[in-house]
Amino acid sequence: MRITEAWRVALDALRANRLRSALTMLGVIIGVASVVLLVAIGTGTKQKVEQQVEGLGSNLLLVVPGRIEVGTAPVVSPLDLKDVDAVSRVVGDPGRVAITIASGATVRAGTRSDFTTVQGVLETTPAVFTRSLARGRYLTGADVDTSRRVAVLGASVARALFPDRDPLGQQLALAGVRFRVIGVFAPLGQSLGVDRDDEVHIPVTAAQRLWGTQRIDGIAVKAPDREQIDELGERIVAELSRRHPDTEFSAVTQQQILGVLGDILGVLTGVLAAIAGISLLVGGVGVSNIMLVSVRERTREIGLRKAVGARPRDIGVQFLLEAVLLTSLGGLTGMALGVGTALLVDAVSPIPAAITWWSLALAFGVSAAVGIVFGVVPAQRAGRLDPVVALRAE
Amino acid sequence: MSAAIPTQGRPVRALPAGVPAIEAVDVSRTYELDGVSVSALRGVSLTIAPGEYAAVIGPSGSGKSTLMHLLGGLDRPTGGRLVIGGRDVATLGAPELAALRNETIGFVFQAFHLLPRTSAVDNVALPLVYRGIGARQRRERAAAMLGRVGLGHRLDHRPNQLSGGEQQRVAIARALVTDPAVLLADEPTGNLDTATGEAVLELLERLNAESGVALVMVTHDQEVAARARRRIAVRDGLIRSDTAHDRPLSDGSGGPATLDGAPSAEPRSASGSGPGHPSGGSGGAAGATGRLPRQAPGGVA
């Protein structure tokens, strides 16, 4: 029998039982669609996070107390501003060193209030982290040196506190202390569900006075070039370890962060895809089941075909193609559904989704393979039927 | 109607002169059912010559269906030698046996066995599909064959749009579209009323006469069997009698008595050199005359 003929016969068989074929396909459709969708979400999230980490600024080196390892407890920072001066001497350029001391706090302006993250920083932050302002100006060295009570708002905070006014020059209250708004950041958007525009920067000196502390949380350094970054990190860690022998320090680069995040998100994507794959497997079992029913139902047809000269292989191929057709059509429909849903999710929800060609090829290939794997047993059974017995079947 | 046809009817295909279409030598068939051996056939020898018209008759359980399955290559004997179309079945694998069926045998079943939701012409063309013939040629040959069975105007009708007699004609066309050497008909009139069955029998006999295909008809109906020129009576897995008749019996009730009384010692010689009837023209005419007396039972029923 010619293969085109076999395809036609398989298609006819599916058409003859439209509802059953559609329901059987539904299992595959849902499986493939969820694989495509979840892989798209995983990929989209990964891309976005990578973008944002890269957007922090290139050649970035983060120095924090403690180890950056899963399972280690956070360490109370022993660092203070004198350590920052020491690091600046190691780096050789204070303009490349940024710091932060952060705390959640409620900010008020008039009758409005917003709970946000308040960061005490140096004037170097925009240069190190590549931040730009939408309005006004950033903190200056003088602001830091004199503990001036001025603030730069993230876009979300500005919107929450001053929805119908220009925030510049307005007053806001932080733990009962008045600050004047001198600038507003350009929006950054969301990252992993976290609003990155939900922050307020004030001079680190003012923050320390506000919270009654001398410490800072961590230091960020922008290395002059990529080649020096590891060596610079070692020197900074060595200097800090000398100053604080009881504490361990870690320096991580952007690439390391990207690597760790990429690994985590890769695992996440894999887990999502595996869960979706289970539903594809269930769909495949459904196909197998329906094919067995189909073989039983058409036993007489099989007997007749054999009587007029169909070889076991002809019958087997016919039923195998039927199963493959079922899963392939389901796969294509599922792909369309998955892509459509992913685009919709990307467009209307904060969850990013990115369609990758390999995920489509994989989903389709897997669905066709599912047809083969789950069609083989029914097809073999059909091919091996004894024609005499088959012709007698009711 | 039949005058227009002879160009279609090839003589028996591809068999060298003198080679029987089917030859069975001491063939037996034993089934294993739950560890118990059941012998359906216990050593049957017979030869089907090209173009002959034979009836296999016997009560249910006699083994006649098993015999037909064996003769048609649907089943394999558990003992003896079975040669179909010059090929020993024992030497053939399942694919070769399927190809042999396709080339040599045409089946007509009691229950028609047409594919539902499939047009008459596509049903008839089905055996050609497994011969790897292209769609256009298949349709041409199937349409021509349907013309020969008088259904040239019903090409695209589905089985459920056809009467029982028409469905069986489609099945006959399907059996003959491959130009087989042997047409095996298993109770071809069993699901039809008397008049329709009669028409189907006439058609089978006409095709046997015209195209030279050997017609082997399995039946439990003495009247039907009486029309054949050779009657093979099967009982308890053995051939009880194998008799040739130059003319069909004119009296249906006389059939069985004659069959049982006939010498059954040499079934093979009765068939091998017996009255093979490649020259079917006169036989067809004889069949027509022999048919008349049997109007009576049909009328009673």
Looking at chain B, the whole-number percentage of residues with pLDDT higher than 90 is 63
In angstroms, what separates the C-alpha of A30 from chain B's closest C-alpha? 31
Q: How confident is the model at residue B272 (pLDDT cuts 50, 70, 90)?
A: very low
Closest-approach residue (CA) in chain B for A313: B95
- Residue A112 pLDDT > 80, yes or no? yes
- In a mutagenesis test of the A interface, which of B13, B114, B126, B218 is the best target, namely the one with the most A β-carbons within 10 Å? B126
Per CATH, the number for B2-17+50-66+102-264+276-289 is: 3.40.50.300
Closest CA in chain B for residue A306: B98
Q: Are A185 and A152 in contact (CB under 8 A)?
A: yes
B109 Cβ under 8 Å from any chain A Cβ? yes
Please list every residue in chain A whose beta carbon sits closer than 8 Å to the beta carbon of residue B113: 300, 303-304, 307, 391
Contacts of B129 in chain A (CB under 8 A): 1-2, 5
Task: Kindly state the percentage of chain A with pLDDT values over 70.
Answer: 96
pLDDT of residue A140: 92
CA A283 to centroid of chain Cα atoms: 27
Q: How many CB pairs below 8 Å do chains A and B form together?
A: 65
Instruction: Mutation target for A interface from B74, B131, B178: give the one with most A CBs within 10 A.
Output: B74
Sheet holding B230-235, edge to edge: B105-108, B182-186, B214-219, B53-57, B230-235, B238-244
Contact yes or no for A308 and B95 at CB 8 A:
no
Interface test with B, best of A3, A302, A308 (most B CBs within 10 A): A308
- List the single range of A21-25, A178-182, B279-283 with lowest mean pLDDT: B279-283
Give the residue from A11, A304, A385 with the most B CB atoms within 10 Å of its CB, the best one to mutate. Answer: A304
Contacting residues of B for A313, CB less than 8 Å apart: 95
Token pair for A343: 């685009």
pLDDT interval class at B286 (50, 70, 90) = very low
How many residues in chain A? 394
Of residues A12, A308, A311, nearest to B126 (C-beta): A308
Going from the C-alpha of A5 to that of each of A1, A15, B128, B131, the distances in angstroms are 7, 15, 11, 12
Q: Who among A16, A312, A387 is closest to B117 (CB)?
A: A16
Average pLDDT, stretch A15-29?
90
How large is the average pLDDT for residues A284-302?
90
pLDDT of residue B47: 95
pLDDT at residue A278, rounded to an integer: 86
Residue B101 touches chain A, beta carbons under 8 Å: yes
- DSSP H helices in B14-76: 64-71
Sort out which chain A residues have CB atoms less than 8 A from B117's CB and list them: 12, 16
pLDDT digit string, tens, across residues A75-111? 778 888 888 899 998 888 888 899 889 889 999 998 8
Q: Model confidence at A283, in pLDDT bands (50, 70, 90)? A: confident
Say whether pLDDT at A287 is over 50: yes
Q: What does the pLDDT look like over B30-84, one tens digit per residue?
A: 998 888 898 999 999 999 999 999 999 998 889 998 999 999 999 999 999 999 9
Per-domain boundaries in chain B: 2-17+50-66+102-264+276-289
Contact A307 B101 (CB under 8 A): yes
CA distance A288 to chain B (A): 23
Q: Using pLDDT thresholds of 50, 70 and 90, give the confidence band for residue B96.
A: very high
Point out the residue among B72, B130, B174 whose CB comes nearest to the CB of A310: B130
Structure tokens that stand for B70 in this block: 């064996």
Q: Which is it for the CA torsion A126, A127, A129, A131, positive or negative?
A: positive
Q: For residue A284, which of A225, A369, A176 has the smallest C-alpha distance?
A: A369
The winner for highest mean pLDDT among A10-19, A239-248, A264-273, B131-140 is B131-140
- Chain mean pLDDT for chain A: 87
> Is the confidence at residue B260, as pLDDT, over 80?
no
Strand stretches in B154-278, DSSP E: 182-186, 214-219, 230-235, 238-244
* The predicted structure's pLDDT at residue A70: 57
Whether the predicted pLDDT of A265 surpasses 90: no
Which residues does residue B114 pair with via DSSP β-bridges, in sequence order?
none
Q: Give pLDDT tens digits for B196-255.
A: 999 999 999 999 999 889 999 999 888 889 899 999 999 999 999 999 886 555 444 443
Residue of A152, A172, A184 whose CA lies nearest to A106: A172
Residue B300 is predicted with a pLDDT of: 37
pLDDT in tens, A169-178: 999 999 889 9
Interface of B with A in 120-179 (CB under 8 A): 126-127, 129-132, 135, 174, 178
In this predicted structure, the answer to whether residue B155 has a pLDDT above a threshold of 90 is yes
Q: How many CA atoms lie within 13 A of B213 on its CB side?
A: 32
Distance from CA of B74 to the nearest CA of A (A): 6
B219 within 8 A of B225, measured Cβ to Cβ: yes
Q: For residue range A295-329, what is the model confidence (pLDDT) as tens digits?
A: 998 899 999 999 999 999 999 999 999 999 999 99
Interchain contact, A309 vs B98, CB within 8 Å: yes
Which residues of chain A neighbour B95 with C-beta distances below 8 Å? 311-313
> Are A301 and B115 within 8 A, CB to CB?
yes
Distance from CA of A330 to the nearest CA of B (A): 24
Interchain proximity B130–A305, CB inside 8 Å:
yes
Of B102, B113, B178, the CB nearest to A391: B113
Distance from CA of A262 to the nearest CA of B (A): 55
pLDDT of residue A74: 65
Check CB contact of B92 with chain A, cutoff 8 Å.
Answer: no
Mean pLDDT check: name the lowest of A228-237, B6-15, B25-34, B222-231. B6-15
Q: Which of residues B158 and A230 earns the better pLDDT score?
A: B158
What's the pLDDT score for residue B273? 39
pLDDT at A138: 93
Please tell me which residue of chain B has the smallest CA distance to A15: B117
B72 touches chain A (CB under 8 A): yes
> Å from A47 to nearest chain B CA?
53
Inform me whether the pLDDT recorded for B20 exceeds 80: yes
Express each pLDDT in A25-81 by its tens digit.
998 899 899 889 988 988 888 888 887 777 766 788 888 888 766 566 667 788 888
**pLDDT at position B288:** 37
Q: Do B94 and A5 touch (CB under 8 A)?
A: no
Given a contact cutoff of 8 angstroms between Cβ atoms, the answer to whether B44 and B26 are in contact is: yes
Q: What is the mean pLDDT of residues A172-185?
A: 92
> Which of the four pLDDT bands, split at 50, 70 and 90, describes residue B8?
very low
- Residue A116 CA from chain centroid, whole number: 24
| Per-residue confidence (pLDDT) for residue B184, from 0 to 100 | 96
Q: What is the pLDDT of residues A323-367, one digit of tens each?
A: 999 999 999 999 999 999 999 999 998 888 888 888 888 888 888
